[in-house]
Amino acid sequence: MKSMSIKLLVLVVVLGTAMTSCNDKAAEKRIAELESRLADLEGSNAAKPSATPAKAEPAQKPEGPLPAFEWESTEHDFGTINEGDVVTHTYKFKNTGAVPLIIENVKPSCGCTAPHWTKEPIPVGGTGEIQVEFNSKGKPNAQVKTVTVTANTWPQSTVLRFKTFVTPASK
């Protein structure tokens, strides 16, 4: 933590010096020395693990044209099914954005759910689908599951949901 403060201070000094005296040869030499010293400090700390993990920066919306999902529905109710039944539902969408849509990943919330999706890029105005198969074996009573779709859209993730009531098998 202390070394990070030192690095920041050195960087501020370097930038301040550079901004106030661009044509001064002595200042340029001093900047080069400070940059070298900063590189040495960074090199000596590279082998030491940080005590605090680096915080992930929040994702920012990319610039330029983007694809966009237009879902027929992001939720589905299978109603009441019997334990052991395998049911499927297809979530359909259209790319209403300005560039081709690419689904990078589809991740279910549990192993009882298997997704299948359109793998090739969906052109502007084109349609695609994500088929979700739910196996109710060993899953009695009320069930609510999710499937997270990651794509080159903004936001990057979309959550699809389904629910069902599984009538327990008689023992």
Q: What's the Cα-to-Cα distance from 55 to each of 42, 58, 60, rounded to whole Å?
A: 19, 9, 15
- Residue 62 has what pLDDT? 83
Tens of pLDDT, residue by residue over 45-71, are 544 444 444 555 557 888 889 999 999
Query: Is the bond preceding residue 115 a cis peptide, omega within 30 degrees?
Result: no
Counting residues of the chain whose pLDDT is more than 70, the rounded percentage is 66
Instruction: Name the strand (E) or helix (H) holding 9.
Output: helix 2-20
DSSP 8-state class, residue 25: H
Q: How much is the average pLDDT of 83-111? A: 97
pTM tops 0.95, yes or no = no
- The torsion angles phi and psi of 103, rounded to 5 degrees, stand at -85, 120
Specify the higher pLDDT residue, 89 or 52.
89
Tell me: pLDDT of 143 over 80: yes
